Chains A and B, each alone.
Chain A
Amino acid sequence: NAGVTQTPKFQVLKTGQSMTLQCAQDMNHEYMSWYRQDPGMGLRLIHYSVGAGITDQGEVPNGYNVSRSTTEDFPLRLLSAAPSQTSVYFCASSYSGNTEAFFGQGTRLTVV
Chain B
Amino acid sequence: KNEVEQSPQNLTAQEGEFITINCSYSVGISALHWLQQHPGGGIVSLFMLSSGKKKHGRLIATINIQEKHSSLHITASHPRDSAVYICVSGNTPLVFGKGTRLSVIA
Interface residues of A (CB under 8 A from B): 31, 33, 35, 40-45, 48, 50, 56, 58, 88, 90, 92, 96-103, 105-106, 108
Contacts and interface: CB of A to CB of B under 8 A. Distances in A.
B31 A43 contact: no
B40 to A, nearest CB: 9
Interface residues on B, range: 20 to 34
22 contacts: A33-B93, A33-B94, A42-B86, A42-B96, A45-B94, A45-B95, A45-B96, A90-B43, A96-B92, A98-B30, A98-B90, A98-B91, A99-B48, A100-B48, A101-B88, A101-B94, A103-B35, A103-B44, A105-B42, A106-B41, A106-B43, A108-B41
A73 B54 CA distance: 32
A108 B40 CA distance: 11
Contacts of B92: 31, 48, 50, 96-97
Nearest to A31: B92
B64 to A, nearest CB: 17
A110 to B, nearest CB: 14
B41 to A, nearest CB: 5
Contacts of B42: 103, 105-106
Nearest to A45: B93
Contacts of B91: 97-98
Given A101-B88, A103-B43, A106-B42, A44 B48 contact: no
A73 B91 CA distance: 22
